[in-house]
Amino acid sequence: MVPELRAFAFAFFAFRPHVAPVEWCEANLHLSALVSEQPGPYSTRLFPYVREPLNSFGDNTTSDLVLCWGAQTTKTTTVSAGTLSRIANAPTPTLFVFPTSDNAQSFAESRLVPLFDSSDQLRRLKPKERDRFKKTEWLLSTCNVNLVGSNSPANVASRPVGLLVCDEIDKFSAGTAKEAGAIQLAVERTKAFQSAKRVYTSTPSTEDGGIWQLFQKGDQRYYHCPCPHCNELIRFEWPQVTWD
């Protein structure tokens, strides 16, 4: 027993070199053909705009990350990869919130668990008891991960977390006179952690939608593309699109 305790103590205090999330994800994760047109090792080569947001998962100076992206622009894959890199390198209790409980279960089963299982490093964190690693509740050796729906206030508000990921927030259940909204309830759970990180994503709906309002409160970063004519870096916007 003493040698085991000694080994645990040394592992706990061991020096851990910082690994950028992009580097870790590209070295450890593999995408399934079930969820990607480019199955195989995870890569940001075709989607360079995800690199900065992905590295924000390992940046302690960033407390809130807002991804206001269009549909089918890899935002869900990006937050999945970023979360898994955080679990591997800086584990903390983690909570995913989706519009509904069905969304949470479907996402876990079809996307997050297969991506988790693609990494040898992450698989070693699984508990030996199979009932401690369920689709929407992971009791890992280093931290707990839960996936819930915004339509279940009790689940959203039931546990303190150091990493909060809210996906498609414009579809979240609104608050009532007796109960705060899902986002507010979830954010309250992060106050127990001084270095908590909150991630919000959604395809924008209206100017009054939650994701656009959060985006307006941040530093509003845009990805710039080289102009095909002069090579100047510009924002890619619909008014610039012309047809023959």
Concatenated DSSP letters of 54-97: HHGGG-TT--EEEEE--TTSSHHHHHHHHHHHHHHHS---EEEE
Torsion of CA 93, 78, 100, 158, to 10 degrees: 10
Read off the pTM. 0.85
Is 90 exceeded by the pLDDT of residue 242? no
**Predicted pLDDT of residue 137:** 94
In which band, very low, low, confident or very high, does the pLDDT at 45 lie, cut at 50, 70 and 90?
A: very high
72-100 pLDDT tens trace: 889 999 999 999 999 999 999 999 999 99
* Interatomic CA distance for residues 31 and 43, integer angstroms: 9
Q: At what angle do helices 75-89 and 21-28 cross, to 10 degrees?
A: 100
Contact 172, 150 (CB under 8 A): yes
Is 70 exceeded by the pLDDT of residue 16? no
Is 60 exceeded by the pLDDT of residue 177? no
**Predicted pLDDT of residue 238:** 83
